[in-house]
Amino acid sequence: MIALPQAVCNIPADVATIGRDMKRKAELPETEPVHLRPICGIRPGIAILAGLAAIAIAASFLLLILPGLIASGGYVSFALDSDSAAVYMDGVYIGSGKGSVYYLPEGEHEFAFSIYGADAGSVTAEVEKKVFGSLFVHRVKEIPHEIVLTPEIEDAVIARFASSIAEWSRVLDFSDRYPYPPLFQDLASDAIALGFDDISDAMLYGALHVTSEAVYGDFRAAMDMLEGSAVSYRSTELDMMEDLLRRIWTEGMAGDGCTAAAGSLPAGTAAGGFISYDGTGMDIGNTDAVTFPEVKEHAKHVTVPAFSIAEDMVSEYGYALFVAENPYWAKGNAAQLAEDGMADVNYLAGIRLSTNVASDAPIRNISRHAADAYAAWLSEKEGIPCRLPTEYEWMLSCEGGSMMWELTSSPFIPYGRLVPDSTLSRLAALFPYDDAIVKGRDRETVGALDPAQCSEYAGFRIVKDGN
């Protein structure tokens, strides 16, 4: 046993007393028990429980039922065969049917559908409001509608594609801000969904407008979509263009080795202000490039039927006579012409037409539409068909070039030099959406203007068939 030091064993008495006191229980004063009074004769516990239940019921009503009771409509969507369909409710456009959900007034409504302006049928359906839980869950009623293919719908879909691809082919570089829309894929999707028989002409026309990598990617995706479908979309010329585009955009092909031998051009015979040419063949172009834009001057052998072309361009005086008999084309009607898409805001800018002053200055700041209207008027006046020259006719007759750009009747199809002229004529008749070719400066240079564009540097001359 270990002996503790004396100092540790001698604990003071007062410290020991405190220790004993701490071990005793603290004695609390006696209190009266608390008794809650009844609420309206109901025991407090039950009243509190009832109050909480009432709050829960009120909250449920406010959150789950009241929003549905005060709502004025319901949510609907549309199950349609085509993603391109527009939706009208009671004659008012509400949006596209593609992946859209609409909150519409309660009741019976007539829903009509159109595809790029063509009637796609209608259906009457009831829009119902949902009462329970509508604040948190949007129950969507799907309204089905089967679109029956009509010639009008098919024409509208193809026209929309052709006009759009002609416009977008003018852009050679796209950005995130201005992205390229999937035009080929939209055409393929509609053709498959609606059951088109044949889109081969539209696909060939589109292939001749593949001027950028973005457009080529869209073209390639559409060709994959159409593979194995019931839609006829291939042709010999499309197969040729598909292979050519693949080599351009995946292999970096730049030229095809085709050249045209330059030869002397036949001389025309001048008489009565016109120069007449016999039908002939000639070589045009100065490059074998197949990439755009160089391909627009690709070498090619062409045939030009007999024609007579005016020695001089149409003058201000000649155009003034036309306007005097056709006030629609007057300078004062420029705003209406612009609204109708017949000319732009520069129509006849800086030009003072007069039938009293025989100005022989070439008319300018007129559109291709205006030039065509003038030719039609002159045809009626003289009883002889008059028109604008083709690109080839201009090249044959104006080898030395011109002081101004001159409008032609030829459409500017980007890869047009790579297909036969018979194909170009057929496609241009089916799809009149391209810019007009303008010639000038020299024989080979190819320019283009929108048919409604007016330029102070561009005029035109008249051609008559035969000689």
pLDDT for 137 equals 60
**Structure tokens, 414:** 């980007």
Question: What's the whole-number mean pLDDT along residues 367-395?
Answer: 97
Closest to 452 measured CA to CA, from 361, 345, 379: 345
Q: From the CA atom positions of the chain, what is the Rg in Å?
A: 41
- Three-state DSSP class for 123? strand
295 or 99, which is more confident: 295
- Looking at every residue in the chain, the average pLDDT score rounds to 89
Could you tell me what percent of the chain has a pLDDT over 90?
Answer: 72
pLDDT value at 62 more than 80: no
Could you tell me what percent of the chain has a pLDDT over 70?
Answer: 86
pLDDT value at 238 more than 70: yes
Confidence of residue 31 (pLDDT cuts 50, 70, 90): low
Question: What's the whole-number mean pLDDT along residues 5-29?
Answer: 55
Fold (topology level) of 269-465: paralog of FGE (formylglycine-generating enzyme) (3.90.1580)
pLDDT value at 28 more than 70: no
Burial zone of 11 (CB within 10 Å; 0-12 exposed, 13-18 middle, 19+ buried): exposed
Query: Which residue is listed with tokens 């071990």?
Result: 23
Q: Which are the contacts of 397, defined by CB distance < 8 A and separation ≥ 6? A: 268, 275, 277, 309, 389
Q: Which long-range contacts (CB under 8 A, 24 or more apart) does 143-146 make?
A: 143/76, 143/77, 143/78, 143/79, 143/111, 144/78, 144/79, 145/78, 145/79, 145/80, 145/111, 145/113, 145/121, 146/81, 146/121
- Among the residue ranges 264-273, 284-293, 375-384, the one predicted with the least confidence is 264-273
Tell me how far apart the 2 most distant CA atoms of the chain are, in Å.
152
Taking the whole predicted model, whether its pTM rises above 0.85 is answered as no
pLDDT for 13 equals 55
- Among the residue ranges 11-25, 234-248, 433-447, the one predicted with the least confidence is 11-25
The architecture of the domain spanning 69-148 is: Sandwich (2.60)
Confidence of residue 45 (pLDDT cuts 50, 70, 90): confident
**Structure tokens, 275:** 């120069």
Confidence of residue 277 (pLDDT cuts 50, 70, 90): very high
Give dist(CA 375, CA 377) in Å, integer: 5
